[in-house]
Amino acid sequence: MNAREAFLRACALDVAVRKPGNVSIHSAGHRMQAQQFLDSAQAAAGPLFTPGQGVGERIEAAVRASWTAAGCNTNLGIVLLSAPLAVAVERHGEATQAALEAVLSTLDLQDARAAYRGIAHANPGGLGSAETEDVHAEPHVGLRAAMVLAADRDLIARQYRDAYADLFARVPPLVPADRPEAAVQSLYLDWLAAFPDSHIVRKHGIAVAQTVMAVAQSWRARAAAGEVLDRVPEFAAWDEALKSRGINPGTTADLTVATLMLSFLRAGGTDRDNPLPAPAV
């Protein structure tokens, strides 16, 4: 499986599974439908995997293509996380932490300018402003340096700082092909239970994010005990309750997609090695 296929497979599986607070084929939300995420993934794939392009160029072009396809911001975080992975595989032939570090260490001012334009175009909810290197202004440092400045308040920026250490710590093991839903839900809940979701913090504050995190810890424990969450009415009810309050763990979903993509890449590209079936796109 090449990097483009891994990206599309991860994006498709993401919306095929109920993830509380986030859009899926089981439950629309936040004025968005699952098909918009599938359309934007297909649109973003071309720019993300165009040979020879830099990280910033890929981000800007993929965001613009996604917006054209979906009419709203569906995948900024996914694009931000996927672009360095795409470049690492192209330049180094593998998705290792060393390969990512090599890519991230070369990010320059041009990458920052292009990425800033892409972020501003996506205009994500709750973006706000920053005292230094605000995305609405002209950057003065390279893209990684800008991400380092935001790393303590944004989990995606933290991955740029730490060469995706959090993702590598969560790459799922081999998963039975008959239960991919449980694998993705467990990964999503693991992220949501471990960190206050950055998107929730920006829009609703840290207290709300910590409350969601605490509830996720309970569901993660039930999933770890073997409970099939899709058979539990309260799980779906939590999903709908979050959406009714406008609470979207969007950063958690983005990190889940990127971790799945990394898993597919590191599995060696065969279904035998990592038999998560790809939902129809």
How do the domains of the chain map onto residue ranges? 3-266
Assigned CATH for 3-266? 1.10.4200.10
Q: What number is the average pLDDT over the span 118-147?
A: 75
Q: In this predicted model, which residue has the larger pLDDT, 134 or 96? A: 96
Q: What number is the average pLDDT over the span 233-258?
A: 97
Q: What number is the average pLDDT over the span 96-124?
A: 95
User: Hey, is 51 helix, strand or coil?
Assistant: coil
Cβ atoms of 82 and 7 within 8 Å: the answer is: yes
Beta partners for 275? none
Residue 133, pLDDT above cutoff 70: no
Q: What number is the average pLDDT over the span 169-197?
A: 84
Model pLDDT, residue 89: 97
Model pLDDT, residue 176: 53
Q: What's the one-letter identity of residue 177?
A: A
Strands (DSSP E) contained in the chain are: none
- Torsion angle (degrees, nearest 10) of CA 136, 138, 143, 146: -70
- What is the average pLDDT value for the chain, to the nearest integer? 90
- Contacts of the segment 129-137: beta carbons below 8 A, 24+ positions apart: none
CA 137/CA 117 separation, integer angstroms: 9
Model pLDDT, residue 93: 95
Calculate the CA 208 to chain-centre distance. 21
Q: What number is the average pLDDT over the span 246-252?
A: 97
- Residue in 263, 211, 274 with CA at minimum distance from that of residue 242: 211
Model pLDDT, residue 132: 59
Model pLDDT, residue 173: 64
Least confident stretch, 19-28, 56-65, 162-171, 176-185: 176-185
Residue 273, pLDDT above cutoff 50: no
Residue 274, pLDDT above cutoff 70: no
Where b means 16+ CB within 10 Å and e means fewer, 134-158 reads bbeeebebbbbbbbbbbbeebbbbb
